[in-house]
């Protein structure tokens, strides 16, 4: 409710994004300077690469003192920011640049303090805090830079979650950790990267596609509830009970993971006895609504409902109207993510 409230108010929404950028920058700096750096543990992606270069900074004359982790993080992100400007849009890029600059400032300002001498605790806490920074930025329309942007670009091009590039870079970071410090610390770096990725996965879930199969005897009610709740297309399949041999409809809906709770509530309200099975979708090809397209679709739905109420107080719902879901679907503009 709070997010919906501020998203309808541009000034509040911009202020909220600034707040998220500040929180993400502070989280990045705290994770690095209080846990990962004093624990001789590398982070993932461009931050880990910055740590590796910083390890040799003392041996570089003149510019060595300037090669702090924060400064290197900004430098490594410059070409990636340019890629983001070209492929992901201006607003996303500007907000991401803000996060990167604030992260540089926070990392340079917060001193390196050893909170714990336990390397396992440093790995877990450092990875979790850094994961919070990446997760909340992607969730609210920006990024911490680095592999986040490259993954988003490749995901848009291929239509699937791309992890091979990140895996290769992180593997090199883990090997560097073992060579520079100790192979035991390479394992702690692996733990830190794993915790970071799972934290991001827990916060930022919109890129994960799921397919829901709903077995119901209340087809019209369930379909209308889904349309009004999450505005997703529904495919009606013919099913038959294996034991009872009763004919039943099976509804198939492809959703983002952040919509799973809303879908379950919509189905439960329409048919409390419906059977719901939700599975992961490896790849989705075709017209799959982005968040912006969903907002446009919801506006169309509300417009139709308002017209129906004005025309007749006995309106039965979207399925009974002359303007059905397919027509609404065609009116939604083809937007980019």
Domains in the chain: ranges and CATH: 2-203 (no CATH), 209-331 (3.30.70.120)
Q: Write out the chain's pLDDT in tens, 337 residues.
A: 566 667 667 788 888 889 999 999 999 999 999 999 999 898 888 888 999 999 888 888 888 888 899 999 999 999 999 988 887 778 888 999 999 999 999 999 999 999 988 999 999 999 999 989 988 887 777 888 887 777 767 766 655 555 556 677 788 888 888 888 888 889 999 999 889 888 887 776 555 788 999 999 889 999 988 887 887 888 999 988 888 888 889 999 998 766 777 888 889 889 988 999 999 887 777 777 766 566 666 676 677 667 767 766 554 544 444 445 555 555 555 444 4
Model pLDDT, residue 33: 94
- Work out the angle at residue 244's Cα, subtended by the Cα atoms of residues 241 and 248, and round it to the nearest 5 degrees: 40
The answer to whether the pTM exceeds 0.85 is: no
Model pLDDT, residue 77: 93
- What are the residues facing 120 on neighbouring strands? none
Rounded-to-integer distance, Cα 202 and Cα 222, Å: 28
Model pLDDT, residue 283: 75
CB 42 within 8 A of CB 31: no
Helix (H) or strand (E) holding 278: strand 275-280
Residue whose C-alpha is closest to residue 133's, from 99, 107, 163, 106: 99
Model pLDDT, residue 230: 80
Rounded-to-integer distance, Cα 22 and Cα 5, Å: 21
Which residue has 């969903």 as its token pair? Answer: 294
- What are the residues facing 280 on neighbouring strands? 210
- Rounded to 10 deg, the angle between the 90-109 and 119-139 helix axes is 150
Rounded-to-integer distance, Cα 260 and Cα 280, Å: 12
Residue whose C-alpha is closest to residue 24's, from 84, 85, 107: 107
Alpha helices in 10-89 (DSSP H): 10-31, 45-55, 69-87
Helix (H) or strand (E) holding 29: helix 10-31
Q: Give the tokens for residue 152.
A: 């988003």
Model pLDDT, residue 29: 94
Count CB neighbours of 119 within 10 A. 21
Which residue has 């920074």 as its token pair? Answer: 133
Model pLDDT, residue 137: 87
Model pLDDT, residue 199: 86
Rounded-to-integer distance, Cα 102 and Cα 77, Å: 13
């Amino acid at each position: 409710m709070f997010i919906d409230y501020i998203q309808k108010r541009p000034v509040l929404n911009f202020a909220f994004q600034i707040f998220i950028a500040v929180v993400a920058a502070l989280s990045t700096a705290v994770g690095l300077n209080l846990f990962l750096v004093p624990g001789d543990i590398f982070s993932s992606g461009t931050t880990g690469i910055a740590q590796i270069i910083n390890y040799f900074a003392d041996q570089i004359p003149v510019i060595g003192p300037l090669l702090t982790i924060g400064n290197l993080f900004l430098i490594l992100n410059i070409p990636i920011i340019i890629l983001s400007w070209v492929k992901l849009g201006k607003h996303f890029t500007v907000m991401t640049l803000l996060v990167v600059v604030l992260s540089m400032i926070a990392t340079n300002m917060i001193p390196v303090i050893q909170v714990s001498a336990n390397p396992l605790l440093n790995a877990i806490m450092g990875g979790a805090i850094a994961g919070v920074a990446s997760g909340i930025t992607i969730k609210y329309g920006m990024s911490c830079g680095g592999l986040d942007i490259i993954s988003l670009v490749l995901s848009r091009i291929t239509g699937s979650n791309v992890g091979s590039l990140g895996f290769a870079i992180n593997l090199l970071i883990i090997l560097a950790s073992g060579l520079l410090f100790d192979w035991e610390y390479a394992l702690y770096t692996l733990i830190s990267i794993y915790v970071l990725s799972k934290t991001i996965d827990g916060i930022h879930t919109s890129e994960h596609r799921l397919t829901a199969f709903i077995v119901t005897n209340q087809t019209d009610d369930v379909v209308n509830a889904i349309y009004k709740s999450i505005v997703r297309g529904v495919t009606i399949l013919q099913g038959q009970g294996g034991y009872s041999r009763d004919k039943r409809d099976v509804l198939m809906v492809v959703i983002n993971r952040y919509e799973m709770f809303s879908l379950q509530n919509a189905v439960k309200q329409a048919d409390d006895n419906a059977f719901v099975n939700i599975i992961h979708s490896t790849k989705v090809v075709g017209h799959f609504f982005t968040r912006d397209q969903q907002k446009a679709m919801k506006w169309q739905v509300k417009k139709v409902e308002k017209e129906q109420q004005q025309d007749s107080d006995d309106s039965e719902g979207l399925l009974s109207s002359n303007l059905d879901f397919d027509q609404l679907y065609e009116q939604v503009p083809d937007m980019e993510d």
